[in-house]
Amino acid sequence: MKFLENKVNDINLAYIGGGSRGWAWNLMGDLALDEEISGTVSLYDIDHKAAADNKKIGNQLFKREEAKSDWTFEVSDSLKDVLKDTDFVIISILPGTFEEMESDVHAPEEYGIYQSVGDSVGPGGLVRALRTIPMYVEIAEAIKEFAPEAWVINYTNPMSLCTRTLYEIFPEIKAFGCCHEVFGTQELLAEMLYDLEGIKNIQRDEIKVNVKGINHFTWLDQAAYQDKDLFPLYEKFVDKYYETGFGEENEDYFSSQERVKFDLFKRYGLIAAAGDRHLAEFCPKNWYLKNPDQVEKWKFALTPVNWRKNDKAEKLEKSRALIKGEEEIELKASGEEGIRQIKAILGLEEFVTNVNLPNQGQIKGLPEGAVVETNALFSRNSVKPVTAGKLPDNIQALIERHVLNQETILKAALNKDKQLAFSAFINDPLVDIDLEQAEKLFNEMLKNTEEYLPGWEI
């Protein structure tokens, strides 16, 4: 890397999962909008054609006059090649296909288990983890051998277990997991200030928060705007919108009207800082996910995998149009912080944001080494977690069950231990069915993903 006049040129960025038709395009747009860094993005994907398509799309984008920086996109044929001489590694992969995810999400419905996302916890999150962990073992071993000094940014779910696997295999790795769910809660608090106080045009990072928990089940025990404590105002906001929900009626499978978030505040007194679709999956089944009618009552949505398949088909068509020049990537900020994080690690700024890292005491009372989500200070060649304090006992009891389950899942995946995996399966709060049914479902789901479980006795 060369530092010149407050700009950094010649950065090598490796993108594992570089054939992505969503995250990759967002990255391209964010890079094009930034004036301070330039370099090369090497794309690696098991779908080589998808990566090659993105190489064309990316290089076309940076020929446009609106691009404020200079990046070149290349395709690598192996992990070794993509990691050679790299400074940063981005991992954003789909573990398996949507066929496996269809089983993850919808097979449990035959047993009365409904999942709104199915990628982090619940039966779907567990089986997804079992096929993802071997992939992350391979990636971690490759980083250890070919790019041990590189900084690694993970976007793949299940976030906690992906990040945890990287550290289990390569303890000295410089990795962190990024998720935008807390950002959405900061934006909600900004909307609250406008709704109740008439304060306009607040940027989400002006809302200062203390973050503690695990990915997709994160909590705030402090929130402030300037010198104003937002908790008393949030209590009024919850009371105002508890029954009706806040915002427009759900427009798609990803929106909600915050009623789960409001209910958790009434139960526990802290602000749950993730989307309702994720939060519901960490709670006992009968709270929010007993059946589709109950989901509708709480004003969020079950996201069907068929929608994801259709979305993929639409993105394939868009990819063809981008390559032919019939469409262009719209240059607008994605809302992610990856580029800003890279710039801070390069020494161009310092800032604090929420990330997923092994617990070094930033959350007192949770196991050391388990991946937790708190704020961290980003500065030159440094990402230091900010001490968040202890969770209230009643919330910790909910979170600790998942933390310990995740440790069990990791051990089961590394040892190909079906019985250990099943013990984690039945310990999940959504798997509220009798043991015989649970075992039948578990075996069915493993059978549906066995291609990604070599060496398992299924």
For residue 306, the number of C-alpha atoms closer than 13 Å in the C-beta half-sphere is: 2
326: exposed, middle or buried (C-beta count within 10 Å: 0-12, 13-18, 19+)? exposed
179 is in an annotated binding site: yes
Helix (H, G, I), strand (E, B) or coil at 247: coil
Q: Judge if the upstream peptide bond of residue 304 is cis by omega within 30 degrees of 0.
A: no
216 is in an annotated binding site: yes
| φ, ψ for residue 400, nearest 5 deg | -60, -35
The residue type of 131 is R
157 is in an annotated binding site: yes
Which of these is catalytic: 48, 106, 180, 278? 180
Cα separation, 331 vs 27, whole angstroms: 11
Contact partners, residue 391, CB within 8 Å, separation at least 6: 212, 213, 219, 363, 365, 366, 399
* The two structure tokens encoding residue 79: 């992990």
Cα separation, 262 vs 278, whole angstroms: 14
Active-site residue flag, 180 = yes
* The two structure tokens encoding residue 324: 């032919």
Helix (H, G, I), strand (E, B) or coil at 299: coil
Binding site membership: which residues?
Answer: 157, 179, 216
Binding site membership for Mn(2+): which residues?
Answer: 179, 216
Binding site membership for substrate: which residues?
Answer: 157
Active site residues: 180
